[in-house]
Amino acid sequence: MSFHFYNSKSGKKEPFLPKDPNRVKIYSCGPTVYNFAHIGNIRSFLFVDILRRALRSEGYILDQSMNITDIDDKIINASIEKKISIEEITAPWTKAFFEDLESLNIQKLEHYPKATESINDMVDLVHRLQANGLVYEKDGSLYYSIQKFKGYGELSKIDVGGMKSGVRNDADEYEKDDVRDFVLWKNQKSEEEKAWDTDLGKGRPGWHLECSAMIRKVYGSGVDIHTGGIDLLFPHHENEHAQSEGAFPDEEFVTTWLHCEHLLVEGEKMSKSKGNFFTLRDILEKGYDKKQIRYLLISSHYRSKLNFSLAKLEEAKQALDRIQTTLFRILESTGYVYETFETPDVQNVKAKISNTKIRSALTDFENGFCDDLNLPKSLGSMFEFIKEINQSYDKNLWNGNDHSELIYYFQFVDSLLGVLSFEKETPAFSSDEENEINGLIEERALAKKNKNFARADEIRNILTSRGILLLDTKEGITQWKKVQ
Ligand SMILES: [Zn+2]
């Protein structure tokens, strides 16, 4: 089945036609490894994962990268303040980033280039830009002259009418109406500031330069798809575009630009000052499950704003339970004996499905995500089908190979969603153990009532050591769950 994507550059939905289906080149702007990723960042990483899984499930072979920004003003300032190297600042955050990916079942990409390992490529790119007359120097720093690049503003559609030549911006991030020349190479200002001694002078790269150079380093060319959050469209992606096509005027830098929308929390922009700022770890600590979080963050369309709330996490749990209960019903009917397909060979399940109802349900699911990764459409068709599956089980209408073919359907679905379980689940505790846990919780409530807080804390600690998380609700009821 063929894909259509909404290309930010053309402003319309276009058929996806990669130059080589056996090596589809995709680059995504990755994390600045300076603190934990917040759930808005996580949403854009999950978007990359869905793009990957969708293309792979249709048989494309991918060569995919996400960069690690380990050179940045904040990182350098922290290294000066703490008197440690930038590597010491970034190493724990880089580790935390990969842990977050793993905990959300995000597939590993082929490359994770780092800025610190790509300095030579950045210098080479600046040399090309210099040769093409696009660079000037001021106080030892190098700037890109945007007026000299004809296509500036084409990608983000910003108004370049009012831009003045020679007005510079040294910051990596700035407002949309601040159209100025941007910095390629920043001159070292003080001895303690981390710098690289190159023939551009002693200094460090601007953020925009990092991505253009890493793409060149990994692929030796432009890419089929470039992704990022919508807030990166200007100035970051506009500047990447200007650098790469300014350096290589005969080559197209990116064929398709995909941008993922913002995440809001309870209708508002997430910010630390508003107290609505969440990292993945914050939510896990509240006792929510990883699969619930993954499901919620992938279930809305990437081009719609996602309004995150804890109530929505509960809805995600109910939706997941509905899919999983149906899947267990099917698995039960086969005695959990089935053939396993994983990406990329999940393609093969299509040929194995002879039941026309199941086949058409699978096609509906595919139609959804092939249309600009419209997962809500895919999920809608899946829930319709789930209703039909259950009704037919109630009436004993499935027979022969149907059970296996239904499992194939869910294997295909899960090659995208990555949240289902195909294994028989054994309860975490026996009923005797559950009684004991409930007894301890009652005792704790009583201890709290009698102001015996030492005993109440002791009971909480006993339960925590057994992997049980207690959640005290506003209504005074204590819920518990087993955490992995
Ligand atoms: Zn980037």
Mean pLDDT of 82-102: 96
User: How many whole angstroms from 44 Cα to the centroid of ligand 1?
Assistant: 13
pLDDT at 309 over 70: yes
Query: Which pLDDT score is estimated for 344?
Result: 67
Is pLDDT of 163 > 80? Answer: no
pLDDT confidence of residue 1: 84
- Homologous superfamily (CATH) of 17-265 is HUPs (3.40.50.620)
Phi, psi at 426, each rounded to 5°:
-95, 140
Residues with CB under 5 Å of ion ligand 1 are: 29, 211
Banded pLDDT at 160 (limits 50, 70, 90): confident
Secondary structure of 119-131 in HEC code, one letter for each residue? HHHHHHHHHHHHH
289-307 pLDDT, tens per residue?
999 999 999 999 999 999 9
Cβ atoms of residues 237 and 155 within 8 Å: yes
274 confidence band (pLDDT: 50, 70, 90): confident
In the reported structure, the alpha carbon of residue 274 is separated from the centroid of ligand 1 by a whole-number distance in angstroms of 27
| Cα–ligand 1 centroid distance for 112 (angstroms) | 12
Separation of CA 302 and ligand 1 centre (Å)? 18
Q: What is the pLDDT of residue 483?
A: 67
Report the separation in Å between the CA atom of 134 and the middle of ligand 1, taken as the mean of its atom positions: 20
- For residue 323, the model assigns a pLDDT of 97
User: Taking all residues of the chain, what is their mean pLDDT, rounded to a whole number?
Assistant: 93
For position 179, what pLDDT does the model report? 84
- What's the CA-to-centroid distance between 465 and ligand 1, angstroms? 43
Give residue 45 CA to ligand 1 midpoint distance, Å.
13
The confidence score (pLDDT) of residue 409 equals 96
Give residue 232 CA to ligand 1 midpoint distance, Å.
Answer: 8
The yes-or-no verdict on residue 137 having pLDDT over 80 is yes
Tell me, what's the pLDDT at 270? 86
Q: What percent of the chain has pLDDT over 70?
A: 98
Cβ(134)–Cβ(87) below 8 Å: no
CA of 54 to the centre of ligand 1 (A): 23
Q: What pLDDT shows up at residue 474?
A: 63
CA 228 to centroid of ligand 1, rounded, Å: 7
Model confidence over 204-259: pLDDT tens digits?
999 999 999 999 999 999 999 999 999 999 999 999 999 999 999 999 999 999 99
What pLDDT is attached to residue 454? 92
Ligand 1 centroid to 67 CA: how many Å?
7
CA of 148 to the centre of ligand 1 (A): 22
pLDDT digits (tens, 9 = 90+) for 164-175: 777 888 888 777
User: Is the entire prediction scored with pTM above 0.85?
Assistant: yes
For residues 247 and 125, is the Cβ–Cβ distance under 8 A?
yes
- pLDDT at position 468 is 83
pLDDT number for residue 169: 84
CA 154 – CA 288 distance, rounded (Å)? 43
Cα–Cα distance measured from residue 404 to residue 337, given in angstroms and rounded to the nearest whole number: 9
**pLDDT at residue 475, rounded to an integer:** 64
Distance 29 CA to ligand 1 centre (A): 4
Q: How far is the CA of 238 from the centre of ligand 1 (A)?
A: 10
**Does the pLDDT at position 476 exceed 80?**
no
What pLDDT, on a 0 to 100 scale, did the predictor assign at position 210?
95
Whether residue 33 has pLDDT greater than 70 = yes
Hey, what's the torsion of the CAs at 268, 274, 275, 278, to 10 degrees? 40
Q: Cα(30) to centroid of ligand 1, in Å?
A: 7
| pLDDT at residue 480, rounded to an integer | 79
- Amino acid 126 reads V
439-471 pLDDT tens trace: 999 999 999 989 999 999 999 888 888 888 887
Calculate how far, in angstroms, residue 227's C-alpha sits from the geometric centre of ligand 1: 9
Distance 69 CA to ligand 1 centre (A): 8
Ligand 1 centre from 237 Cα, in Å?
A: 7
* CA of 282 relative to ligand 1 center, distance in Å: 26
* 8 Å CB contact between 145 and 165: yes
- Domains of the chain, by residue range, sit at 17-265, 310-425, 431-482
Amino acid in position 448? K
| 399 alpha carbon – ligand 1 mean position (Å) | 52
Lowest mean pLDDT among 48-52, 318-322, 427-431: 427-431
Lowest-pLDDT range of 4-8, 219-223, 395-399, 421-425: 421-425
Q: What span, in angstroms and rounded, lies between the C-alpha atoms of 279 and 267?
A: 17
Question: Is the model's pLDDT at 15 over the cut of 80?
Answer: yes
Ligand 1 center–CA 23 separation, angstroms: 21
Say how many Å lie between the CA of residue 74 and the centre of ligand 1: 16
pLDDT higher at 447 or 429? 447
Ligand 1 centroid to Cα of residue 217, in Å, is: 14
Distance (angstroms) between ligand 1 centre and the Cα of 83 equals 28
Centre of ligand 1 from the C-alpha of residue 234, in Å: 11
Per-residue pLDDT, 82: 94
